[in-house]
Chain A
Amino acid sequence: MNELLENLYREYRQGLYLLALSIVGSTQQAEDAVQNAFTNIFQKSSRQLAALENGHCVAYLFKSVRNSAIDLKRAGDRQRRLGESLFLDRRCDHWDTPADALLTKERDEILMRAIDRLNENDREAIVLKLFGGLSFEQAGEVTCTPAKTIATRYRRALEKLENHLKGQL
């Protein structure tokens, strides 16, 4: 695989995977979506990718994975999102048992449930911004949406999560 593509995968693998997972709702299909996108780019457009400026390059990659995930979702089940969580098994304990571990654990569980219940657009904005590290302009490029709309979705999602958290704790 060419070096650029390999470096991009290393840097953005989790963001790309979470983006695909948030669309298809199935870990298996998310894997397929990322693999399909990379195969396609490797075979047909890696040179064009290299010619793009860095920011556009990242957006192009996310857009390819997004399109691939949307295609898979359509091909599989047009109406039903498979609904797998974006998080590891909630029973697994990633908390380091400090004094406030219980409160942190409770907060995290509430957040995870709330994120899984966000609508697709809001969840996508969270994944692109937090895990893709994309600017709103880049995220807009990925989703064919104006940057301001993405920014609104992102803020709205955070506010929803914040309010949900306040209501639960």
Chain B
Amino acid sequence: MNTDNHRDLELALRQLPWKEPPQQLDAAIAALESMPEMPASEIPQRVMPPSSGVASRRFGWVALVSTAIAAGLSGLLIGHSTGPTPVAASATSTTQDLDPATTQSGIVPVKFNANAFTLLHKHSTRPEFNKCEDCHVSNRNRFENWFYGDAEFLEQNQDFRNCSDCHLAQ
């Protein structure tokens, strides 16, 4: 790779006529000042962005693969099954990621993992995931302990209980 060429290229790229945010957006952001801020007592403790450490990545891959497999299986079963979701079978393949506690519905919870979370949502490009509410409302009791971490996690991060807090468009 010719570094000098890339330096020139980077300079050329910076000088291209990239679009700028419109003035309406600047005004809208500035207008936030007039909006009421949520009182500190009502603000949930948000989780920090995931770390990029090697150990957490290794942990992440295991959870990612197992959770994705489970997501694929359960996604296919949405609308066809009235019984408990078959999470436990796939989740148990990664014993190091499991929380010893089991929920009342018999689902073995998987610890929250940001990479898995992102991957799962990419599945929404598949037809069976087209309607978020198929999982996140009607089947919510079945899914929340699995998709969004264990009960303890939800207890500590109350803001993950409401989809609309993060998913503004829904």
Contacts and interface: CB of A to CB of B under 8 A. Distances in A.
Interface in A5-28: 5-6, 9, 13-14, 16-18, 21, 27
Interface stretch (B14-22, B72-80, B87-95): B14-22
Contacts of A112: 16-17
A146 B57 contact: yes
B48 interface: yes
Contacts of B155: none
A140 B13 contact: no
Interface of B: 1-2, 5-6, 9-10, 12-22, 24-26, 28-30, 32-33, 35-38, 40, 43-46, 48-52, 57, 114-115, 118, 121, 124-125, 130, 159, 165-170
Contacts of A137: 52
Interface string A67-108: 110111011101100000111100010100000000000011
B46 A45 contact: yes
A56 B46 CA distance: 14
A9 B9 contact: no
A17 B32 contact: no
Contact of B19 (A17, A35, A141): A17
Contact of B35 (A14, A42, A78): A42
A51 B165 CA distance: 20
**Size range of the chain A interface in the assembly:** 35 or more
A38 B32 contact: yes
Given A44-B165, A45-B46, A71-B167, A13 B21 contact: yes
Contact of A71 (B13, B50, B57, B169): B169
9 contacts: A1-B32, A17-B19, A17-B21, A17-B25, A43-B36, A56-B49, A71-B168, A108-B17, A158-B6
Which residue of B1, B46, B51 has the most chain A CB atoms within 10 A of its CB atom?
B46
B170 A71 contact: yes
A76 B12 CA distance: 34
Contacts of A75: 169-170
Contacts of A161: 9, 13
A9 B32 CA distance: 12
A18 B165 CA distance: 24
A1 B19 CA distance: 25
Nearest to A140: B52
A52 interface: yes
A36 interface: yes
B31 to A, nearest CB: 8
Contacts of B46: 44-45, 48
Contact of B166 (A48, A67, A107): A67
A162 B1 CA distance: 10
Given A17-B19, A27-B19, 16 more contacts: A6-B30, A9-B29, A14-B21, A39-B35, A40-B165, A42-B35, A45-B43, A46-B37, A56-B48, A63-B49, A71-B167, A94-B17, A112-B16, A130-B14, A131-B18, A162-B2
A111 B13 contact: yes
B17 to A, nearest CB: 4
A83 to B, nearest CB: 14
